[in-house]
């Protein structure tokens, strides 16, 4: 038993996170990537600490409508007299929440379809890939609008709808990687050892496509956040929640641009752009490290 324990401990502390550490070491040298990552971390902290940062309750009227920026309200107030700064801070929560959850859902569907399709091939592959193609060629925004009109504007529906249009690209990516993994001899060796298909899928294929999936997740998050803002801006967002998209929708509707407080439209816009940019920086950096053609130095 002591031997077993010794092995466990070596595994646990010795080298478990070696690959991740190595990845971080290279990543740290990428300035753009670090900038993006810091921005994302700041956004996440803001989202988590929103109630402590905001000076006012974002759902309360705290002043006159359309006040220009002043010492009490640094970005002024909206059409109902709510504090723009507090609204924007709370908006971070919804944007991140929708973005991350929709992405996880789409990554889950995409990976499952991609792995099964690539591994089993034949009729299963044909069927799944035609379905994937179908979703891939549907024009995203119009489809989103139709779906959210049918399903109704609540935050869970928005997440589902975004996931539905985002999964096909992940599925394609994962399938092609699975196809190449499938021909490696260690898969055949596993079959010889008596492994079932399910075992091979999880223990051999999935662990090897996981880095690819995580890289694609970063890109999908950006898309999901922008899509959520787009939907909300079109008035299809969840009206009971504050997101940057709904803020822009109301700002537009009440003519904020030409009112006494144009910051109503500028501030959520900037918040959205910076977050989107941050994710793009991170995905570029990861791509540079992971993509063998762009790799400046070998990771392994």
Partner 1 sequence: METPVLEVNNLKKYFAVSKGLLYSILFKRVDYVKAVDGISFDIKEKEIFVLAGETGCGKTTTGKVVLGLYKPTDGQVKYKGFDIFRIRRRQWRRIRHKLQMIYQDPYESLNPRQRVFDIISEPLRLNKLYKSKDELYDRVMKVMEDVKLVPPEDFMIRYPHELSGGQRQRVAIARAIVTNPDFIVADEPVSMLDASLRASILNLLLEFREKLGVTYLYITHDLATARYVGDRMAIMYLGQIVEMGNIDDLIENPQHPYTQALISSIPVPDPEYTRRKRRIRLEGEPPTPINPPSGCRFHPRCPYRMDICEKEEPTYVDVKDGHIVKCWLHIKR
Which residue, 227, 267, 226, is CA-closest to 247?
267
Looking at beta carbons only, is 7 or 141 nearer to partner 1?
7
- Helix 84-120 with 207-233: angle, nearest 10 deg: 140
6 binds partner 1 (CB under 8 A): yes
Which residue, 245, 264, 238, is CA-closest to 65?
264
Range in contact with partner 1 (rule: CB under 8 A) among 54-62, 107-115, 182-190, 271-279: 182-190
- Write the binding mask 119 to 138 for partner 1: x where contact by CB under 8 A, - elsewhere: --------------------
20 binds partner 1 (CB under 8 A): no
Instruction: Identify the residue among 32, 191, 266, 288 touching partner 1 (CB under 8 A).
Output: 191
Which residue, 91, 225, 121, 223, is CA-closest to 169?
223
Instruction: Identify the residue among 138, 208, 215, 269 touching partner 1 (CB under 8 A).
Output: 208
For the bound state, the minimum distance from the C-beta of residue 3 to partner 1, rounded and expressed in Å, comes to: 6
For the bound state, the minimum distance from the C-beta of residue 14 to partner 1, rounded and expressed in Å, comes to: 6
199 binds partner 1 (CB under 8 A): yes
What is 17-60 written as a DSSP string? THHHHHHHHHHTT-HHHHHHHHHHHHHHHHHHTHHHH-SS-TTS
Burial of 5 (0-12, 13-18, 19+ CB in 10 A): exposed
300 binds partner 1 (CB under 8 A): yes
Instruction: Identify the residue among 21, 28, 31, 184 touching partner 1 (CB under 8 A).
Output: 184
């Amino acid at each position: 038993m002591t031997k077993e324990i010794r092995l466990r401990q070596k595994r646990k502390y010795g080298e478990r996170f070696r690959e991740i550490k190595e990845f971080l070491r290279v990543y740290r040298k990428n300035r753009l990537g670090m900038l993006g990552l810091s921005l994302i971390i700041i956004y996440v902290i803001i989202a988590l600490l929103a109630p402590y940062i905001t000076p006012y309750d974002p759902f309360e009227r705290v002043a006159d409508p359309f006040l220009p920026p002043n010492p009490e309200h640094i970005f002024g107030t909206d059409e109902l007299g709510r504090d723009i700064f507090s609204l924007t801070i709370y908006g971070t929560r919804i944007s991140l929440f929708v973005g991350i959850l929709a992405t996880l859902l789409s990554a889950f569907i995409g990976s499952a379809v991609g792995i099964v399709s690539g591994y089993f091939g034949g009729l299963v592959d044909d069927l799944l890939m035609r379905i994937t193609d179908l979703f891939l060629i549907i024009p995203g925004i119009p489809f989103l609008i139709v779906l959210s009109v049918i399903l109704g504007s609540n935050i869970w529906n928005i997440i589902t709808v975004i996931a539905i249009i985002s999964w096909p690209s992940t599925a394609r990516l994962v399938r092609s990687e699975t196809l190449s993994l499938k021909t490696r001899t260690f898969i055949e060796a596993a079959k010889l050892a008596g492994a079932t298909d399910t075992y091979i899928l999880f223990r051999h294929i999935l662990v090897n496509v996981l880095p690819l999936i995580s890289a694609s997740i970063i890109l999908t998050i950006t898309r999901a956040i922008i899509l959520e803002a787009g939907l909300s801006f079109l008035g299809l967002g969840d009206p009971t929640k504050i997101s940057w998209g709904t803020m822009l929708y109301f700002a537009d509707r009440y003519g904020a641009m030409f009112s006494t407080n144009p910051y109503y439209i500028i501030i959520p816009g900037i918040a959205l752009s910076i977050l989107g940019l941050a994710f793009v920086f991170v995905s570029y950096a990861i791509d540079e490290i992971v993509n063998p053609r762009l790799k400046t130095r070998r990771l392994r």
